[in-house]
Homo-oligomer: A and B are copies of this chain.
Amino acid sequence: MVDKDEFRKKIIISAGQIFSRYGFRKTTMDELAKALKMGKSSIYYYFKSKEEIFEAVILSEANMLRNELTKAIKSVDSPIDKVKNYVFVRMKTFEKLSNYYNAIFDKNLDHFDFIETIRSKYDREELAILRLLIYHGAREKVFRVVNSEYTALAVQTALKGLEVPLFWKKREMDLEKRLNAILDVLFYGIVRKQASEA
């Protein structure tokens, strides 16, 4: 009873590693079984299908991302740093949680309903966070913002657009440097002139 959930987590971790390496399609149940040192059919005692395992992995990674992000936001005070941290952590964590990343972007996985669910849920959550960050920044007169709702949407759209080229040319240049450059641009369009970083 108790152990069952515990073992589910083990499966999720192990499966997450293998999925991230080979993708959903190329990962076989036999492989998962071997990695877990158990018979293939035993896995079905814990999960109903390969898809369900994948879903659990994605969900787990989505939660990790959320945790990382909220932690990153709380770790600093100034609105600028909050946004900066948010973008940074978002990009860097995406790199690690490649299952989640692929689930969001891989067109081959489109037909999984739960991915669409997660996708939109993640979008809504992110938008809410961004709106809050921007709203606070505007309140403290650090950001010049007319409508935080629209600005948040704009920032989110920009971030989404950035992901693709950011990951496509992953090895070409230092991720941090590129991110910093992008953030500079972002802030020079948002930050008030002569704003102090209080």
Chain A interfacial positions (CB closer than 8 Å to B):
22, 26
B-side contacts of A22, CB under 8 Å: 22, 26
The CA of A26 and the CA of B22, in the complex, are separated in Å by 9
Q: In chain B, what residue has the closest Cβ to A28?
A: B26
User: In this complex, what residue of B is CB-closest to A31?
Assistant: B26
A26 cross-chain contacts in B, Cβ below 8 A: 22, 26
* C-alpha gap A4/B26 in the complex (Å): 32
Complex CA gap A26/B28 in Å reads 10
A-B CB contact pairs (8 Å), 3 listed:
A22-B22, A22-B26, A26-B26
Question: How far does the alpha carbon of A181 sit from the alpha carbon of B26 in the complex, in Å?
Answer: 39
A22 to B22 alpha-carbon distance, docked (Å): 7
How many angstroms between the C-alpha atoms of A124 and B148 in the bound complex? Answer: 70
Minimum CB–CB distance for A168 against chain B, Å: 15
A151 to chain B, nearest CB (A): 40
